[in-house]
C-alpha cells in the first residue's frame, strides 16, 4: 500500500505541476552526449516542478525511478574494411530512420580507420559512433594510440574502455581504465567501462567480488549517469557462443548497481549493458533481466540483420 501511494503521489504531482525540491536526474540517454545532456536538463526541470502536498507523501523516501533507455552497442573490434563497414553502418542508420521512434539508442564502434567515414555516412541519423579505446593523454608521443579528443574530432560520442581484450592483451588494469574514462569525459565522450570475470574466477566463486572490484577501481571521479555506461561482459562468454544464464546476469547486474552507489553520480540512472555472445535468439530474454539496460555486441554486430534483430527486442 505504501508503495502504491508513493506512485500515486508521484503522478498526481506531475499532473498537478506542483514543486519538489529534490534534484534527481534521469539522463535516460540519447545517442550523442549533447543530446543526452539536453534530455537530462529537460527532465531535471520537469522534476523540479513537481510538488506533492499530500500529507501522506513519502516522495522524499522514494527510490528514484530513473528512465534507463536501452543502449544497443556494436563493437566491431578489428573487423571491417572501408566498403563493408560503410555498407553496414548505412544499412543500420536507414533501418533506424525507417523505424521512427524506438525504445533504444544504437551505437557502432568501428575500428579506428573507419570511424571518420562511418561517422560521415551516418551523420544526421540517430546512429551514434564510438571508439574502441583511447589514450589517457590528449596528444603526444604515443605511437599507435588515439586520444579521446581525436575520437571526438572523427565523429565519436562514445568510447569503450577496459574491454577484456584490452585488459588481457594489453595489460590494462583498473587504474588505467579509470584514467582512460576520465580522459574520455574530459573530451566530452561517454565512456563505456567494461568489467567481467574469467572462467576460473567464476568457478572459484569470485565473480561478484571481481566485478565489484573492477567497477569500483575503473570509475573515475566526476563520472555520472550522463557520461558513463557500465558493460558487464563475462570473459568466458565473449566470442565463445556461451551466454551467462539470466539468473547469473541478474545477480551480477544487481551487484553492479549496488556497487555503483556512492561511487558515481545518479547510480540508479547508470546504464548497465550485458555483453558476451548476445544474438537475436537470446537477446529478448537477456534484455528482460532487471538492471540490463542494453547490450554490448561483438560478432553479431557485424551482420546487419542480427544486430538489428537484437535491437528490435528493445523496441
Ligand atoms: P561477442 O563479443 O558478442 O562476440 O561475444 C562481445 C564483446 O566483446 O563486446
Protein residue with its CA nearest to atom 1 in ligand 1:
298
Residue 57 and residue 74 share a domain: no
- For residue range 193-242, list pLDDT tens digits in order: 999 999 999 999 999 999 999 999 999 999 999 999 999 999 999 989 88
Q: How far is the CA of 113 from the centre of ligand 1 (A)?
A: 20
* CA distance linking residue 90 with residue 115, whole number of Å: 13
Residue 262 and residue 200 share a domain: yes
Q: How far is the CA of 219 from the centre of ligand 1 (A)?
A: 21
- For residue range 166-199, list pLDDT tens digits in order: 999 999 999 999 999 999 999 999 999 999 999 9
The residues that are catalytic are: 163, 233
Residue 106 and residue 26 share a domain: no
- Using N-to-C axis directions, what is the helix angle for 304-312 and 82-99, rounded to 10°? 30
Q: Residues enclosing ligand 1, CB less than 6 A? A: 75, 233, 238-239, 275-278, 296-300
Q: How far is the CA of 2 from the centre of ligand 1 (A)?
A: 42
Residue 297 CA: nearest ligand 1 atom is 3
The pLDDT, as a whole number, for residue 25 is 31
Q: How far is the CA of 184 from the centre of ligand 1 (A)?
A: 22
Residue 297 and residue 185 share a domain: yes
Residue 204 and residue 269 share a domain: yes
Supply the range of the domain harboring residue 12.
2-61
Residue 296 CA: nearest ligand 1 atom is 9
Q: Is the pLDDT of residue 33 over 60?
A: no
Residue 216 and residue 82 share a domain: yes
Residue 300 CA: nearest ligand 1 atom is 3
- Using N-to-C axis directions, what is the helix angle for 280-287 and 304-312, rounded to 10°? 20
Residue 262 and residue 239 share a domain: yes
Q: What's the domain count of the chain?
A: 2
The pLDDT, as a whole number, for residue 243 is 84
Residue 181 and residue 234 share a domain: yes
Contacts of 160 (CB under 8 A, 6+ apart): 73, 75, 109, 130, 131, 132, 133, 192, 194, 231, 296
Amino acid at each position: 500500500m505504501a508503495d502504491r501511494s508513493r506512485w500515486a503521489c508521484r503522478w498526481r504531482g506531475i499532473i498537478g505541476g506542483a514543486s519538489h525540491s529534490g534534484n534527481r536526474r534521469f539522463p535516460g540517454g540519447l545517442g550523442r552526449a549533447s543530446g543526452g545532456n539536453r534530455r537530462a536538463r529537460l527532465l531535471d526541470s520537469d522534476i523540479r516542478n513537481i510538488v506533492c502536498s499530500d500529507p501522506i507523501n513519502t516522495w522524499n523516501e522514494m527510490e528514484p525511478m530513473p528512465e534507463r533507455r536501452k543502449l544497443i552497442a556494436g563493437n566491431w573490434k578489428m573487423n571491417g574494411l572501408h566498403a563493408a563497414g560503410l555498407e553496414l553502418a548505412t544499412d543500420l542508420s536507414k533501418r533506424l530512420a525507417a523505424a521512427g521512434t524506438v525504445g533504444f539508442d544504437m551505437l557502432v564502434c568501428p575500428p579506428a580507420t573507419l570511424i571518420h567515414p562511418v561517422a560521415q555516412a551516418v551523420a544526421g541519423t540517430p546512429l551514434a559512433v564510438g571508439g574502441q579505446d583511447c589514450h589517457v593523454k590528449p596528444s603526444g608521443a604515443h605511437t599507435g594510440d588515439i586520444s579521446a579528443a581525436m575520437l571526438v574530432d572523427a565523429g565519436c560520442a562514445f568510447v569503450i574502455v577496459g574491454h577484456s581484450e584490452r585488459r588481457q592483451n594489453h595489460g590494462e588494469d583498473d587504474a588505467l581504465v579509470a584514467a582512460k574514462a576520465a580522459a574520455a569525459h574530459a573530451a566530452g565522450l561517454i565512456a563505456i567501462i567494461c568489467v567481467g570475470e574469467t572462467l576460473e574466477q567464476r568457478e572459484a566463486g569470485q565473480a561478484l567480488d571481481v566485478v565489484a572490484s573492477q567497477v569500483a577501481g575503473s570509475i573515475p571521479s566526476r563520472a555520472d549517469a550522463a557520461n558513463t555506461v557500465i558493460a558487464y561482459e563475462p570473459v568466458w562468454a565473449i566470442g565463445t557462443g556461451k551466454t551467462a544464464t539470466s539468473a547469473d546476469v541478474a545477480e551480477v547486474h544487481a551487484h553492479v548497481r549496488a556497487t555503483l552507489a556512492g561511487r558515481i553520480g545518479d547510480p540508479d540512472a547508470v546504464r548497465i549493458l550485458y555483453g558476451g555472445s548476445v544474438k537475436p535468439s537470446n537477446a529478448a530474454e537477456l534484455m528482460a533481466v532487471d538492471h540490463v539496460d542494453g547490450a554490448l555486441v561483438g560478432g553479431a554486430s557485424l551482420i546487419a540483420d542480427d544486430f538489428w534483430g537484437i535491437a528490435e527486442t528493445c523496441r
